[in-house]
């Protein structure tokens, strides 16, 4: 890599400051479709260069979309959405009552480890001359867990506002009523993840720059279907896979219960996303509009796959001792992260197929990055939360998913 050669000639302190920007430039220069560059570009500048999510002050994101009113109230026009609405009403739960908050959680207790011992590839760190004691390794895993749950929390805040916007903007009346239940669901998710992080792990990480870019891009896009694609399919689809993986691997009972509850809600959300977009993308868009969404989805998938690598933990633990490239190799070779990646894309790719964004034109590019093998899996409209949890419970161990 040319940038690596350039970085080597810089003093370590400067190198640490410059590397993230070169990384960010790499992301922008890889975007092929100019329409996608226009959509993700400004968000990328705000997220990757200005790091708006990390300034310690609230972020104001301009939101442009039209609220769609229908004075005819055509209830029951879309049966599957109506059914989802009924199921969602009946499945509401209270974060105060459904979870046992008196459970004492010690993130360093190996008997009830948040992340299992084999999660990180410690051998790889030793190859770079970094030796951590048992206690340090436990602390590193606890920090990785806090990082992960913090990103879930930030994603949930994005989901809360996106769900509210989409509820205004969609033209399906049954979808609007359903959407209101999702707004409540997301509020509850923000509540329980935040409470767990604040009171049990006592450590919250800032938002990852790449996640910020995606949230910023979809919040400020005026087209409801782009918000939908970004949030209901990409972010929520990946989150659903991540929640399932963590549910399977964690030894901490309160977190497991929390995830079990959240997964039931999220399965409905992604199901709704598939229903709404399948109709819209296949019936109401021109070829060119569909191609734009296809490119956008691929870029966002790559952003999540290649860049969502816990650099915030790296900066805290190893900056100056280990290069960003070496950290990337460490994360990518760790069984825990590999399992996450696999299950996340196993969930996401079939949904992209189902909504018509995996045309013959784009498939070779998914194949090139190793994502096409998930193509034939079940999409969210065929998979309930209960079925997902049952399949996870049936697996002997978390490593079986890898
Ligand atoms: Fe959520
Ligand atoms: Fe959700």
- Ligand 1 mean position to 159 CA, how many Å? 6
- Ligand 1 mean position to 152 CA, how many Å? 8
- Ligand 2 mean position to 141 CA, how many Å? 26
Q: Is 212 among the domain residues?
A: yes
Q: Is 151 among the domain residues?
A: yes
Q: Is 4 among the domain residues?
A: no
pLDDT tens-digit readout, 46-85:
877 778 888 788 888 888 889 999 999 999 999 999 999 9
Mean pLDDT, residues 105-125 taken together: 94
- Ligand 2 mean position to 233 CA, how many Å? 10
For residue 112, the domain's CATH number is 1.10.620.20
Q: What is the mean pLDDT of the chain?
A: 90
Q: Is 8 among the domain residues?
A: no
- Of the listed ranges 135-139, 142-146, 377-381, the one predicted with least confidence: 377-381
Looking up tokens 């960003």, which residue turns up?
324
Phi/psi class of residue 100: alpha, beta or left (left: φ > 0; alpha: ψ in -120 to 50)? beta
Q: Which of 347, 337, 288 is nearest to 140 (CA)?
A: 337
- Ligand 1 mean position to 385 CA, how many Å? 13
Residue 253 neighbours by CB under 8 Å, 6+ apart: 103, 112
- Ligand 1 mean position to 248 CA, how many Å? 18
Q: Is 113 among the domain residues?
A: yes
- Ligand 1 mean position to 156 CA, how many Å? 5
Using DSSP, state whether 49 is helix, strand or coil. Answer: helix
Rounded Cα gap, residues 69 and 46, in angstroms: 33
Residue 282 neighbours by CB under 8 Å, 6+ apart: 355, 356
- Ligand 2 mean position to 215 CA, how many Å? 13
Q: Is 287 among the domain residues?
A: yes
Number of independent structural domains in the chain: 1
- Ligand 1 mean position to 185 CA, how many Å? 6
Range of the domain at 394: 31-55+81-401
Confidence band for 402, pLDDT divided at 50, 70 and 90: very low
- Ligand 2 mean position to 337 CA, how many Å? 22
Q: Is 206 among the domain residues?
A: yes
Q: Is 256 among the domain residues?
A: yes
**Is the CA virtual torsion 213, 161, 263, 201 positive or negative?**
positive
> Residue 241 pLDDT more than 90?
no
Using DSSP, state whether 319 is helix, strand or coil. Answer: strand
**Is the CA virtual torsion 331, 337, 341, 342 positive or negative?**
positive
């Amino acid at each position: 890599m040319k940038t690596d050669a350039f970085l080597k000639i810089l003093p370590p302190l400067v190198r640490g400051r410059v590397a993230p920007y070169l990384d960010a430039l790499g992301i922008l220069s890889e975007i092929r479709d100019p329409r996608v560059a226009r959509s993700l570009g400004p968000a990328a500048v705000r997220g990757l260069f200005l790091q708006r999510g990390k300034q310690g002050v609230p972020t104001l994101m301009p939101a442009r979309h039209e609220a769609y009113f229908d004075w005819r109230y055509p209830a029951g026009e879309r049966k599957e959405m109506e059914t989802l609405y009924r199921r969602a009403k009946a499945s509401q739960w209270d974060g105060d009552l459904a979870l046992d908050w008196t459970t004492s959680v010690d993130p360093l207790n190996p008997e009830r480890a948040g992340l299992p011992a084999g999660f990180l590839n410690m051998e790889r760190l030793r190859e770079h001359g970094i030796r951590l004691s048992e206690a340090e390794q436990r602390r590193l895993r606890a920090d990785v867990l806090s990082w992960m749950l913090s990103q879930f929390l930030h994603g949930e805040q994005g989901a809360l506002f996106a769900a509210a916007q989409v509820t205004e903007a969609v033209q399906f009346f049954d979808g609007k009523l359903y959407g209101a239940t999702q707004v409540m669901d997301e509020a509850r998710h923000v509540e329980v993840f935040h409470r767990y992080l604040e009171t049990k792990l006592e450590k919250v990480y800032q938002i990852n720059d790449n996640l910020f870019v995606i949230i910023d891009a979809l919040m400020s896009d005026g087209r409801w279907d782009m918000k939908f694609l970004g949030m209901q399919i990409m972010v929520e689809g990946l989150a659903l896979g991540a929640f399932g993986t963590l549910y399977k691997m964690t030894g901490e009972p309160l977190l497991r219960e929390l995830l079990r509850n959240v997964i039931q809600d999220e399965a409905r959300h992604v199901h709704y996303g598939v229903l709404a977009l399948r109709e819209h993308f296949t019936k109401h868009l021109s070829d060119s509009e569909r191609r734009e969404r296809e490119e956008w989805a691929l870029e966002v998938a790559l952003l999540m796959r290649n860049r969502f690598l816990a650099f915030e933990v790296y900066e805290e633990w190893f900056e100056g001792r280990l290069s960003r490239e070496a950290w990337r190799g460490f994360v990518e070779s760790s069984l825990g992260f590999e399992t996450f990646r696999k299950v996340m894309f196993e969930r996401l790719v079939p949904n992209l197929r189902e909504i018509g964004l995996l045309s013959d034109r784009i498939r070779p590019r998914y194949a090139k990055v190793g994502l096409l093998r998930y193509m034939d899996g079940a999409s969210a409209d065929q998979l309930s939360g209960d079925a997902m949890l049952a399949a996870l419970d049936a697996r002997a161990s978390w490593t079986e998913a890898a």
